[in-house]
Structure 1
């Protein structure tokens, strides 16, 4: 009997890293391969990355992402999907049509995924990592409405819609009016093996902070829904109680606005905007941080919190979305009120001023990571969903 085969579509995959989808695809495909699944990943090309390579038994194909000038991002996405569908169809024919399931990740590959579903009459699954309505707190502009309609079309065409938290299950059900039996929850995961503790991180941390300064770490896009402005507004309140250095890792459209706020407070020496850090340096920083902060206003899951917990950094998070499910207050982290600088400052200082409490959070969080968010378990759950879908598919007219 041939092994089960899955085709994954994503606009990002390492070394192309835009957000959390890239590492998600990398680890999920890797651990599916360990479950004796033949995994193919089709993604966009990237300078210096080969068009085809095998990574941990996963076949990775990088296709032409359309480099000619486009009038706007939406047009580029449409043209990229045309290229992805065309080149993936050629690939599927080349391997004799041996694809059992098509698994698309988010709206950016919707057209390609839906087209391939109908060309080859194979079941389509989609993982909805987020929604435009959630990211924008409503639909305000034409582009946002276009993305929303694309997401709705993708969830309609999908055999199953996978969400990474119970919060996202309810959100997606409400936003797109989906039936219960179409939705399934599989959490995101984290590679805890990538955070082996250093014997001494003092040399590394000295690049960012003085020995007497506590490190408060934020990792994420500098955009409204990530709540970075809440943290910046909380900085003076925290500094009034504890000597700290705030390290901001990430980029986004709010950067200049945030820099101006920091300058107006005269705190440039206390808030460092580091931009993008490679995985090794980011992991070291997460291990050295005294507290990691995730003050999101909208968060489908909260992979950044999970990574911090795996690295052994105590976390302070907004009590919202998937974060509320990941973190147990006073056990594996601290929950604070969303969009509330006073509450955020309270949570951060609570961790920084009590080392025994912070160590307890570290220990409990790491134990939870190993029990609930291991990629091997997540791959097993995903394989089970594939098998259930194929069982239904085999009895349907679609087959």
Structure 2
């Protein structure tokens, strides 16, 4: 199938991003893909078989566009896609997000082909159900327009499917759930890097990790509120809060107020390799989001081998099956968060079992090969359904005129579906099963030790002692070697 993707994200400068990965997987499956994207200082090119064309720079270019700039970019995007269309044309358009709605609608009309839209979040959802100000209301209206013009809408989770139906009046049969995709291999860290991360951030107790944007909706404040209780039950517990955002300063101040400034690290944004190692070094990855439509970071953590503790919110509830691939807790409840973390810290074998299942789940359901196959099937359905869909739309407009987007006051998501956490019941293994688990665990530990020794004997017990004599700071490696290795081996 010949596919035209319209995206604000620029795969030329984000080669590991969602657009680049999906496009490459589609090409690998035999499809022809062109990505039309905004100006990002890169030339038109072909990467992994994907043809990438860039619109010219728009006046007043900015990374945080206002609506007028967005409109200007959309006109340039549409012109570029028309000018660079191959001789055979396209069969379907895939628009990624509200930012490219105007271009997608114009191109649909110009080429006379259907378009499929992907939404990763909604404006109302980003603001916990409210639309603060005229800009938010305008964005909401554009999202409504996108949903009405698209033959099919793709969302990553069942929760976001509910949002799209509820907010934009899109019938259920036109909304498809395709889980988020990641490359599991990218999130498999080397043992030496995992040990280095553990030495950098952990003490003698467990290590908890959060990674993501530092904004109020991510709920990191709930993790900080729960940490004193966690440390009381599990002395020495430390936490890493990786990422950046408007809420970072307030979170640092809150950690100081709770006397947690020595127990919580705020390293800022970490590069992908470092983050993979930190995730793998964690005894638990904690994602306490108040709103989370996709949960991609949880997938990355699962791919790294971390045990998952997540709020029962939106997309996270779709990813984590309670007591099977992780542990969930009620949204916005620090006490529940503390109990969920405690369930893993007090039973390391159970935590490792959940982490292993989650890692396999990512490989089975969230590889880009699987995501591309499901997406291509939706393209085919859109092509088949487009004539009937457009006929219905035309009849509706002729009979009722252009639709008016009515935005009622108050919380638009006040009746959001609540996903119950449920009780945490995990079977106690019999002696034979427990022995097999222990043997597998020990085999992994032996492999980790052998790999690290093969990498120059950097972190054997003897090397750690020798380093400690040269550098006082390295004494931590000697005093805590067994503690550190226990965490590394479980990964």
Q: Which of the residues 205, 223, 232 maps onto 2:224?
A: 232
Q: For 1:319 and 1:53, locate their aligned partners in 2 and report how far apart those are by CA, in whole Å.
A: 42
Q: For 2:106 and 2:8, locate their aligned partners in 1 and report how far apart those are by CA, in whole Å.
A: 16
3-state SS of paired residue (1:59): strand
Q: For 1:209 and 1:245, locate their aligned partners in 2 and report how far apart those are by CA, in whole Å.
A: 8
The 1:180–1:209 alpha-carbon spacing in structure 2 relative to 1, beyond 3 Å, is: closer
Q: Which of the residues 93, 99, 103 maps onto 2:90?
A: 99
- Contact 1:12–1:22 (8 Å) recurs in 2: no
Q: CA deviation at 1:15?
A: 6.3
The 1:69–1:102 alpha-carbon spacing in structure 2 relative to 1, beyond 3 Å, is: closer
Q: For 2:383 and 2:352, locate their aligned partners in 1 and report how far apart those are by CA, in whole Å.
A: 46
What is the aligned partner in structure 2 of residue 9 from structure 1?
A: 6
Q: Which of the residues 299, 306, 311 maps onto 1:313?
A: 306
What is the aligned partner in structure 1 of residue 108 from structure 2?
A: 117
Q: For 2:306 and 2:226, locate their aligned partners in 1 and report how far apart those are by CA, in whole Å.
A: 20
What is the aligned partner in structure 2 of residue 182 from structure 1?
A: 174
Instruction: Give deviations 1:35-73, integer Å, cap 9, x for gaps.
Output: 1111112223435xx222222211123334535267962
Q: Which of the residues 318, 323, 336 maps onto 1:343?
A: 336
Q: CA deviation at 1:198?
A: 2.5
What is the aligned partner in structure 2 of residue 216 from structure 1?
A: 208
Moved more, 201-210 or 215-224: 201-210
Moved more, 270-279 or 302-311: 270-279
- Contact 2:45–2:52 (8 Å) recurs in 1: yes
Q: CA deviation at 1:293?
A: 1.2
3-state SS of paired residue (1:296): coil
Instruction: Give deviations 1:288-315, integer Å, cap 9, x for gaps.
Output: 2221111111222211111111110001
Q: Which of the residues 272, 286, 290 maps onto 1:279?
A: 272
What is the aligned partner in structure 2 of residue 37 from structure 1?
A: 31
Which ranges in structure 1 are unaligned for 5 or more consecutive residues? none
Q: CA deviation at 1:206?
A: 4.5
The answer to whether the aligner puts 1:329 opposite 2:326 as a matched pair is no
Q: For 2:122 and 2:390, locate their aligned partners in 1 and report how far apart those are by CA, in whole Å.
A: 31
The 1:154–1:395 alpha-carbon spacing in structure 2 relative to 1, beyond 3 Å, is: closer
Q: For 1:15 and 1:235, locate their aligned partners in 2 and report how far apart those are by CA, in whole Å.
A: 41
Q: Which of the residues 288, 301, 305 maps onto 1:295?
A: 288
- Contact 2:12–2:52 (8 Å) recurs in 1: no
The 1:286–1:55 alpha-carbon spacing in structure 2 relative to 1, beyond 3 Å, is: farther
Taking structure 1 as the reference length, the TM-score comes to 0.90
Any residues of structure 2 matched to 1:40-51 within 5 Å, and which?
Answer: 40-46=34-40, 50-51=42-43
The 1:397–1:191 alpha-carbon spacing in structure 2 relative to 1, beyond 3 Å, is: closer
Q: CA deviation at 1:260?
A: 1.6
Aligned length: 388
What is the aligned partner in structure 2 of residue 28 from structure 1?
A: 22
Q: For 1:268 and 1:369, locate their aligned partners in 2 and report how far apart those are by CA, in whole Å.
A: 34
Q: For 1:98 and 1:165, locate their aligned partners in 2 and report how far apart those are by CA, in whole Å.
A: 32
The answer to whether the aligner puts 1:78 opposite 2:75 as a matched pair is no
The 1:173–1:362 alpha-carbon spacing in structure 2 relative to 1, beyond 3 Å, is: same
What is the aligned partner in structure 1 of residue 378 from structure 2?
A: 385
Moved more, 197-206 or 367-376: 197-206
Higher helix proportion (structure 1 or 2): 2
- Contact 1:65–1:84 (8 Å) recurs in 2: no
What is the aligned partner in structure 1 of residue 355 from structure 2?
A: 362
**Over the residues paired in the alignment, what is the CA RMSD in angstroms?**
2.3
3-state SS of paired residue (2:51): strand
The 1:206–1:67 alpha-carbon spacing in structure 2 relative to 1, beyond 3 Å, is: farther
Q: For 2:173 and 2:202, locate their aligned partners in 1 and report how far apart those are by CA, in whole Å.
A: 54
What is the aligned partner in structure 1 of residue 161 from structure 2?
A: 169
Q: For 2:293 and 2:390, locate their aligned partners in 1 and report how far apart those are by CA, in whole Å.
A: 35
Which ranges in structure 2 are unaligned for 5 or more consecutive residues? 392-491
Q: CA deviation at 1:34?
A: 1.2
Q: For 1:391 and 1:363, locate their aligned partners in 2 and report how far apart those are by CA, in whole Å.
A: 40
The 1:361–1:189 alpha-carbon spacing in structure 2 relative to 1, beyond 3 Å, is: same
The 1:40–1:69 alpha-carbon spacing in structure 2 relative to 1, beyond 3 Å, is: closer
- Contact 2:193–2:274 (8 Å) recurs in 1: no
Moved more, 327-336 or 341-350: 341-350
Instruction: Give deviations 1:192-222, integer Å, cap 9, x for gaps.
Output: 1223352344542146324524221111111
The 1:314–1:104 alpha-carbon spacing in structure 2 relative to 1, beyond 3 Å, is: same
Larger Rg: 2
The 1:153–1:68 alpha-carbon spacing in structure 2 relative to 1, beyond 3 Å, is: same
Q: Which of the residues 127, 131, 137 maps onto 1:136?
A: 127
Q: CA deviation at 1:158?
A: 0.6
The 1:289–1:13 alpha-carbon spacing in structure 2 relative to 1, beyond 3 Å, is: farther
What is the aligned partner in structure 1 of residue 395 from structure 2?
A: none
